[in-house]
Structure 1
Amino acid sequence: MTSDPVLATVPPTVLHVGCGVADPTRLPVEFFGATEWRELRLDIDPAVAPDIVSSITDMAAVESGSVQAVWSSHNLEHLYWHEVPVALREFRRVLAPGGFALITLPDLQQVAELIALDRLEEPAYLSPAGAITPLDILYGHCASIASGNGFMGHRTGFTARTLEAALIAAGFSGVRVLRDGAFGLWARAWVPATIVETPGDATREHGSLPQAA
């Protein structure tokens, strides 16, 4: 039997959750630049005109096993802690065998170092939205919330260890978590290509992103 040449040219799909306004530069080139990816945009805020209006805790509009990657940039910290396992199980559900989730969010250990120095309201780094303080990182971007964007509020947070544990508990394997030294955690976690899994297969790293496949 020969393979279907049409199917062979179909690009893989990355489900961009919490996508915000359309901007192809929000896809990390290290992972989604070498191959032509189809971006499927999902957000809880209809004002950003996503392909799918949905919470990440209930992505019923996305079929199980229908995407090859999930990209989540600064989303999980907007949930309550008890909602995090629900969202991660949804990430895993929509991924096809062999697919992966790529997640970045604040590193509370590094933020805590500034708080211990009584620098809660001093700039930690600069972003397109302006100076970001430890207070912003902990509770959500204060200026955006003050202007009426309640979606920006933060309700939970992570260290490398707790993020790793949450991904393993959700059924991912090959979990890799790192602290980037710039107030961020990065995690890459896989759905096995077969039904055989190795529980607890995880590593924590420092200093560089996991290599893209």
Structure 2
Amino acid sequence: MDRQLAVGTLAIHPVHIEAWPIYDKSQTPQLPTHRKEVAVKLHLGCGKKYIPGYIHIDAQPLPHVHHVRPVEDLSLFTDCSIEVIYASHVLEHFGRHEYLRVLKEWYRVLRPGGLLRVGVPDFRSIAEEYASGHLENGLRDLIGLCVGGQRDDYDYHKMVFDEVILTGAFEHAGFSRVQRWDWHDTEHSSLDDYTQAHLPHMNKKDGRLMSLNLEAIK
């Protein structure tokens, strides 16, 4: 059935969508069948999170990961071959002299009109929450957002972003129509990842969103 994929507030080209297999972690992950008319979508730095219909790429060999490789190297994909890239709290793991190169690589593989959607820790929200003096556990509530969980070699933050810096980075890499996106309105809204991080923790109704979520078009 032909329909239009609505991604946030931006529309993706009409495509033919077939039923994607449900993830069964007991099975070897199968790549979605991608024909010319089907949107090829990447979930970069997916960690333990799985989105049906996406190709999952991560440095860790988890059961659902299709390609175990660095997310900054997408050389297995040709130029202009990807419709959507989703990266939740990935970009901050690259240094201040690295993240622009990563964005340019993601730009390379996206089709004209393709969508890049990312989330990063929102430094403005972090600073304002710390300065408020109202945090139950003080700085401890913010350390993970600032420096990462540090549970493994990949779990360290090297860069901070606010909306001005991240918007400028997108535009420098070639993207346009940069805007915020609302996780409620996405096809992966049921996925509780860091783009939905709130303080107080898990208080998505009354808490403050601590993730800066921006999307842009190639």
TM-score by length of 1: 0.67
1:119 CA drift (Å): 6.6
Paired residue secondary structure (2:38): coil
* Equivalence for 2:200: none
Using the alignment, how far apart are the partners of 2:181 and 2:55 within structure 1?
26
2:77 pairs with 1:88: no
* Equivalence for 1:105: 120
The match for 2:54 among 23, 34, 39 is 39
1:133 CA drift (Å): 1.8
Mark the CA change 1:178 to 1:23 in structure 2 (over 3 Å): closer, same or farther: closer
Using the alignment, how far apart are the partners of 2:217 and 2:112 within structure 1?
8
Using the alignment, how far apart are the partners of 2:129 and 2:173 within structure 1?
31
- Cα deviation 1:88-144 (Å, max 9, x = unaligned): 0011111011111011111101101122245788279xxxxxxx8211100012xxx
Mark the CA change 1:183 to 1:165 in structure 2 (over 3 Å): closer, same or farther: same
Contact in 2 for aligned 1:119/1:134 (Cα 8 Å): no
Letter in 1 for 2:143: L
Mark the CA change 1:120 to 1:87 in structure 2 (over 3 Å): closer, same or farther: farther
* Equivalence for 2:79: 64
- Cα deviation 1:149-198 (Å, max 9, x = unaligned): 2211111110010000000000001111369941111111111xxxxxxx
1:7-18 correspondence runs (5 A): 10-18=37-45
* Equivalence for 1:135: 143
* Equivalence for 2:179: 176
* Equivalence for 2:48: 21
Paired residue secondary structure (1:151): coil
1:48 CA drift (Å): 5.2
Using the alignment, how far apart are the partners of 1:174 and 1:106 within structure 2?
21
Contact in 1 for aligned 2:103/2:173 (Cα 8 Å): yes
2:54 pairs with 1:51: no
Using the alignment, how far apart are the partners of 1:64 and 1:17 within structure 2?
17
> Identity rate of aligned residues, in percent?
27
Paired residue secondary structure (1:19): coil
Using the alignment, how far apart are the partners of 2:42 and 2:147 within structure 1?
26
Q: CA RMSD in A?
A: 3.0
Unaligned runs of 5+ in 1: 26-37, 125-131, 192-213
* Equivalence for 2:26: none
- Aligned residues between the structures: 163
Which has more helix, going by share of residues? 1
Higher deviation after alignment, 153-162 or 15-24: 15-24
Unaligned runs of 5+ in 2: 1-15, 17-33, 184-207
2:212 pairs with 1:185: yes
1:46 CA drift (Å): 2.5
Contact in 2 for aligned 1:121/1:135 (Cα 8 Å): no
TM-score by length of 2: 0.65
Mark the CA change 1:179 to 1:12 in structure 2 (over 3 Å): closer, same or farther: closer
Mark the CA change 1:40 to 1:178 in structure 2 (over 3 Å): closer, same or farther: closer
Using the alignment, how far apart are the partners of 2:79 and 2:55 within structure 1?
14
Paired residue secondary structure (1:165): helix
Higher deviation after alignment, 76-85 or 113-122: 113-122
